[in-house]
């Protein structure tokens, strides 16, 4: 093997480069981008949320509860987008073996989970005055509950496996298979809910024409949550990369001392 | 504060819950980031002092 | 592959635990539910198909870790990986063995336990049919989950967490097909969906499961 001809110093440099090849670029890029991302997140979120809360009128069927869309819709969108991003990142890991991709998927999971929880809580709170109970197995909320379970399983699997590459592989397989079942579940839940009394579903989406007066601040809010997701995933991925590097150095320390 | 009428509770609680959860997420992300950064810098400092 | 199947079946029956345990658990669920919801025949008859499906599902879950664990621990799984049978075939055979020793007994026992819950007469047929079509999916999906967690020492709880969301579509269509059939309504849609899930799971999941096993064997 060619490594054996090199000095220990040269080998160390080689290992260092090999481990950091992709992560180095990511750390550099994310380090530059973060201040801008944070600024953009704060700006768009503030605009969307403040506008939506203070400067929108009451709606026809919903009264002032329409203002809940500014937290419910963006979080629900992010809950799903986050999972989709994790799916893509998992596929990239499985096919191209870019470590940053695997770590980014791992990093995104908690963010997606919190988004799902927010969607569930705001959905339930909104549902209470609409349906009279906090939970009515509305098909959309039920799908989010199932998504929450998928997130939990994904994070639990990452946590249970010691070897990082094995964990990345297995969680990626889970993400792919899970996505198929998540999609199937959506259809199944819609089917399952047919028999029940159709309460008003919580949606002001494409079916109705949302007046611009609601739609534009909503766009800002959605953009804000989206940027929040990207910002947090960048930070968390940097954390994962650092943890991985620390772990590798610790192993080397232990072997050198032994 | 706008006129929230009978839905005041729902609106306020949902917004509060959202902001609290987002704040917790941001806080945890930030703290984990700082910890990882500190640990990495510590171990790299140890390496440098050993090599020099 | 037949030899592998015969061997797994023999092991399962000899070990005892796997074979009877699922059935016993299923019985326990069928007995406990009436205690929990009261003996009114109407109430029980209404929920019986759902409870039977949940009971069967949980009973399947119990014996899932056996599919690969024993072979993993004593090294046989490594040997099987190098054998002339493709890993996908091994996985499929093991899932089949699980179904024969766990799923099939449940299918046969379910109408009997249904009697404990005042299951309508039409229910005997529909529970039997839906479970017959659906339990292979449960075994195959469960085998996938078991493949993911085979390397873990106490992966049982994690296995349940991973597999249960995957079971939800099967459960929905299976229970719905049974309930509608009992009510005399048209249940072609859920029945077809159930059959579709089973067919797709049996055809496609062996690939995902064998990938997981190969990863775990590295």
C143-185 pLDDT, tens per residue?
A: 999 999 998 988 889 999 999 999 999 999 999 999 999 988 9
> What is the reported pLDDT for C160?
95
- B and A touch with 3+ CB pairs <8 Å, answer yes
Helix residue ranges per DSSP H, chain A: 8-54, 69-96, 99-131, 139-160, 164-192, 212-257
The answer to whether residue C41 scores a pLDDT higher than 60 is yes
What pLDDT, on a 0 to 100 scale, did the predictor assign at position C17?
Answer: 57
Distance (Å) from the alpha carbon of B45 to chain A's nearest alpha carbon? 11
Does B30 fall in a domain?
A: yes
Contacts of A233 in chain B (CB under 8 A): none
**How many other C-beta atoms are found inside a 10 Å radius of the C-beta of residue A108?**
25
Instruction: Return phi, psi of residue A98, to 5°.
Output: -85, 115
User: Could you tell me which chain B residue has the CA closest to the CA of A51?
Assistant: B2
Task: Determine what percent of chain B is predicted with pLDDT higher than 90.
Answer: 63
- B37 part of a folded domain: yes
Q: How many domains does chain B have?
A: 1
Binning pLDDT at 50, 70 and 90, where does residue B8 land?
A: confident
> Does B45 reside within a domain?
yes
- Size of the A and B interface in Cβ pairs below 8 Å: 100
pLDDT at A196 over 70: no
Q: Does any domain span residue B4? A: no
pTM for the full predicted model? 0.90
Q: Choose between C14 and A246: higher pLDDT.
A: A246
Say if the Cβ atoms of A246 and B43 lie within 8 Å.
Answer: yes
- Flag whether pLDDT at B51 surpasses 70: yes
- Residues C43-57 have a mean pLDDT of 93
- C205 pLDDT higher than 90: yes
Chains that touch A (3 or more CB pairs under 8 A): B, C
Question: B42 is in which domain, residue-wise?
Answer: 22-52
Residue B12 lies in a domain: no
Please determine, for residue A13, whether its predicted confidence score (pLDDT) is greater than 80. Answer: no
pLDDT of residue A213: 79
DSSP conformational letter for C102: I
Instruction: Copy the structure tokens of residue A217.
Output: 């601040």
Q: Is residue B16 part of a domain?
A: no
Q: CB-based contact (8 Å) between A27 and chain B?
A: no
Q: The domain containing residue C168 runs over which residues?
A: 2-217
Distance between CA A47 and CA B2 in Å, rounded?
17
Instruction: Select the residue of A149, A174, A188 nearest C169 (Cβ to Cβ).
Output: A188
Subunit contact A156:C158, Cβ cutoff 8 A = yes
Residue A71 pLDDT = 95
Least Cα distance to A189 among C128, C2, C171 occurs for C171
Q: Does B11 touch chain A (CB under 8 A)?
A: yes
pLDDT of residue C75: 86
All residues of chain A having their beta carbon less than 8 Å from the beta carbon of residue C215 are: 166, 169-170, 173
Question: Is B10 within the bounds of a domain?
Answer: no
By C-alpha distance, the chain B residue nearest A253 is B47
Contacts of C151 in chain A (CB under 8 A): 161, 166
Q: Going by CATH, does the domain composed of A36-257 fall within 1.20.120?
A: yes
Cβ atoms within 10 Å of A188's Cβ, excluding its own: 25
Whether residues C162 and A153 touch (CB distance < 8 A) is answered with: yes
pLDDT of residue B52: 66
Q: Is the pLDDT of residue B22 over 90?
A: yes
In 10 A of CB C183, how many CB atoms? 15
Enumerate the residues of chain A whose CB falls inside 8 A of the CB of residue C190.
Answer: 191
In the predicted structure, residue A144 carries a pLDDT above the cut 70 = yes
User: pLDDT at residue A10 above 70?
Assistant: no
Residues 6+ apart with CB under 8 A from C59: C22, C23, C25, C26, C29, C102, C106
CB count within 10 Å of CB A184 equals: 20
> Does residue A204 surpass a pLDDT of 70?
no
Which of A102-116, A234-248, C9-23, C118-132 has the weakest average pLDDT?
Answer: C9-23
Query: Residue A17 has what pLDDT?
Result: 47
Chain C partners within 8 Å of A174 (Cβ): 148, 162
- What pLDDT does residue C19 have? 67
Q: What three-state secondary structure class fits C57?
A: helix
- Which tokens belong to C87? 């890993």
Going A215 to A216 to A218 to A222, the CA torsion angle's sign is positive
Which helix (H) or strand (E) segment holds residue A138: the answer is none
Nearest-angstrom CA–CA distance, A60 and A123? 19
Task: Report the percentage of chain C scoring pLDDT > 70.
Answer: 96
The pLDDT of residue C212 is: 95
Kindly determine whether residue C151 and residue A174, on different chains, have CB atoms separated by under 8 Å.
Answer: no
Longest dimension (CA), chain A: 78
| Tally of domains in chain C | 1
In a domain, B6, yes or no: no
- Identify the CA nearest to A190 among candidates A151, A143, A145, A130: A143
Q: Tokens 């908690």 correspond to what residue?
A: A110
Interface contact C215-A166, CB threshold 8 A: yes
Q: Which residues of B touch A62 (CB under 8 A)?
A: 7
Best of C169, C196, C211, C214 to substitute, by most chain A Cβ atoms within 10 angstroms, is C169
With a cut of 80, say whether residue A200 has pLDDT above it. no
């Amino acid at each position: 093997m060619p490594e054996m001809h090199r000095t220990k110093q040269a080998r160390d440099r080689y290992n260092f480069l090999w481990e950091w090849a992709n992560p180095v670029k990511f750390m550099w890029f994310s380090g530059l981008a973060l201040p801008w991302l944070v600024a953009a997140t704060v700006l768009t979120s503030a605009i969307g949320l403040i506008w939506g809360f203070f400067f929108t009128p009451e709606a026809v069927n919903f009264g002032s509860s329409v203002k809940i869309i500014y937290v419910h819709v963006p979080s629900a969108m992010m809950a799903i987008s986050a999972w989709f991003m994790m799916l893509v990142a998992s596929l990239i890991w499985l096919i191209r073996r870019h470590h940053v991709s695997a770590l980014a998927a791992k990093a995104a999971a908690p963010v997606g989970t919190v988004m799902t929880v927010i969607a569930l809580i705001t959905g339930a709170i909104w549902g209470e005055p609409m349906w009279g109970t906090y939970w009515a197995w509305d098909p959309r909320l039920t799908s989010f509950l199932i998504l929450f379970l998928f997130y939990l399983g994904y994070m639990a699997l990452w946590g249970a496996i010691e070897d990082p590459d094995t964990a990345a592989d297995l969680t990626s397989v889970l993400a792919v298979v899970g996505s198929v079942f998540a999609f199937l579940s959506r259809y199944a839940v819609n089917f399952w809910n047919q028999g029940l009394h159709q309460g008003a579903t919580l949606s002001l989406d494409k079916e109705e024409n949302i007046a611009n007066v609601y739609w534009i601040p909503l766009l800002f809010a959605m953009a804000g949550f989206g940027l929040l997701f990207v910002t947090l995933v960048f930070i968390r991925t940097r954390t994962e990369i650092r943890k991985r590097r620390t772990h590798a150095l610790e192993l080397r320390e232990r072997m050198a001392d032994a | 504060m706008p006129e929230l009428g009978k839905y005041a509770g729902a609106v306020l609680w949902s917004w509060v819950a959202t902001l609290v959860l987002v704040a917790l997420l941001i806080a945890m992300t930030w703290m984990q980031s700082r910890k990882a950064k500190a640990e990495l810098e510590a171990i790299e400092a140890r390496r440098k002092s050993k090599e020099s | 592959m037949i030899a592998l199947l015969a061997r797994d079946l023999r092991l399962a029956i000899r070990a005892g635990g796997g074979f009877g345990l699922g059935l016993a658990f299923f019985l326990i669920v069928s007995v406990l539910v009436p205690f929990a919801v009261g003996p009114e025949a109407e109430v029980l008859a209404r929920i019986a198909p759902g409870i039977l499906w949940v009971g069967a599902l949980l009973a399947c879950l119990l014996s899932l870790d056996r599919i690969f664990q024993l072979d993993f621990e004593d090294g046989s799984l490594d040997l099987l990986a190098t054998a002339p049978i493709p890993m996908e075939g091994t996985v499929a055979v093991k899932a089949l063995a699980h179904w024969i020793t766990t799923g099939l007994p449940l299918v046969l026992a379910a109408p009997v336990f249904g009697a404990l819950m005042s299951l309508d007469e039409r229910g005997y047929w529909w529970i039997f049919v839906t479970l017959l079509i659906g339990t292979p999916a449960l075994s195959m999906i469960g085998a996938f989950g078991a493949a993911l967690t085979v390397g873990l020492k106490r992966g049982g709880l994690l296995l349940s967490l991973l597999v249960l969301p995957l079971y939800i579509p099967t459960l929905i269509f299976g229970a719905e097909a049974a309930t509608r059939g009992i009510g005399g309504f048209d249940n072609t849609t859920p029945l077809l969906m159930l059959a579709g899930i089973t067919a797709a799971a049996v055809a496609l999941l062996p690939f995902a499961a064998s990938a997981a096993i190969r990863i775990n064997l590295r």
